[in-house]
Amino acid sequence: MKTMDVEKIRSDFPMLQTTVNGKPLVYLDNSATTHKPRQVIDTIVDFYTTMNANIHRGAYSLGHQASNQYESARASVQEFIGASSPEEIIFTSGTTASLNLIAQSYGNMVLGNGDEIIITEMEHHANIIPWQALCERKKARLKVVSIDDKGELCLDELESLISKKTKLVSLTYVSNVLGTINPIKKVVQIAHDHDVPVVVDGAQAVQHMPVDVSNLECDFFVFSGHKIFAETGIGVCYGKKELLETMPPYEYGGGMISTVGFDQTSYADVPMRFEAGTRNISAAISLESSLDYVKKIGLKAIK
């Protein structure tokens, strides 16, 4: 296992060389957002100074270069979380946007009057309100799994809450308040035994420990770049390809179409179907740089 040279790592972060109220900065709010290492900052500056162009649109050198870097970032995320293919990686603006994508597209498609969604008592607001709003709109029911005195999920209760009307289970991997690491593989097994798909909020997990979505067998997995040293405004929505291919777009515009006509429009294949408009290109590229930085330190050493 790699060991960490703390002073060397600290020196990588320009913000940690500053002072606050005349004292060296001590920053403890990584669960909200992380500061950026110089390597990531340099990547952002390099994009805007050497290759700034829109992606998948222009047949010229800068456009090709930017597009290649953007798709390289997608492949890097795929490898980092153990997805089966780059097509299973959708770039969004963050965890919140990823959860809303799933709610507005998949949830809206499968949920009906009287159906159910299950979440847990330890969820971040971003993993409560989209489901709450969806249930209100569809006249469905939101069920909540309790936590015990140790701050752990009551798995027996989860099993008892699942019914024939349950369409989805959504839960956090690591609680942003308690630090609880949920037994995701066990939760997925319980849900899948009832043919219920599982959404995992990995916003507090990917920066602390290895994640392998293929091993977890979860159906969706979401996280934010800014909590793992990347720029703000970039997030990831992983989904099993066979599920993504059944889902309708939830945003419409340039980049997510195959053909356009005034009578009929056909949509692009996944993942582009879910990436309407101009994306946060530099942030996606910064995410690849941040993942490289984390891999260089080593997730086992970080854990």
DSSP string, 236-298: EEEE-HHHHTTPPPSS-STTSEEEE-SS-EEEPPTTGGG--S---HHHHHHHHHHHHHHHHH-
Please name the residues in contact with 37: beta carbons below 8 A apart, sequence gap of 6 or more: 12, 13, 229, 290, 293
The structure tokens 């991997």 sit at 173
pLDDT surpassing 70 at residue 180: yes
* Pairing, β 141-145 against β 116-120: parallel
Confidence tier at 300 by pLDDT (50, 70, 90): confident
User: What is the pLDDT averaged over residues 214-219?
Assistant: 98
pTM across the whole model: 0.97
d(CA 107, CA 135): 9
Contact 238, 86 (CB under 8 A): no
pLDDT surpassing 60 at residue 218: yes
Mean pLDDT rounded to a whole number for the chain: 96
pLDDT tens-digit series, residues 128-168: 999 999 999 999 999 999 999 999 999 999 999 999 999 99
Contact 80, 289 (CB under 8 A): no
pLDDT surpassing 80 at residue 1: no
Confidence tier at 7 by pLDDT (50, 70, 90): very high
- Structure confidence at residue 63 (pLDDT): 96
pLDDT surpassing 90 at residue 208: yes
pLDDT tens-digit series, residues 23-55: 999 999 999 999 999 999 999 999 999 999 999
pLDDT tens-digit series, residues 60-92: 999 999 999 999 999 999 999 999 999 999 999
- Structure confidence at residue 4 (pLDDT): 77
Confidence tier at 58 by pLDDT (50, 70, 90): confident
Q: Which long-range contacts (CB under 8 A, 24 or more apart) does 149-157 make?
A: 151/122, 151/175, 151/178, 151/180, 152/180, 153/120, 153/122, 153/180, 153/182, 153/183, 153/187, 155/183, 155/186, 155/187, 155/190
207: closest CA among 184, 190, 177, 230? Answer: 230
Token duo for residue 189: 């097994």
SS3 content of the chain, % helix, strand, coil (to 5): 45, 15, 40
d(CA 24, CA 213): 39
- Collapsing DSSP to helix, strand or coil, 119 comes out as strand
User: What is the pLDDT averaged over residues 276-301?
Assistant: 96
**What is the CATH topology of the domain spanning 88-279?**
Aspartate Aminotransferase; domain 2 (3.40.640)
pLDDT surpassing 90 at residue 249: yes
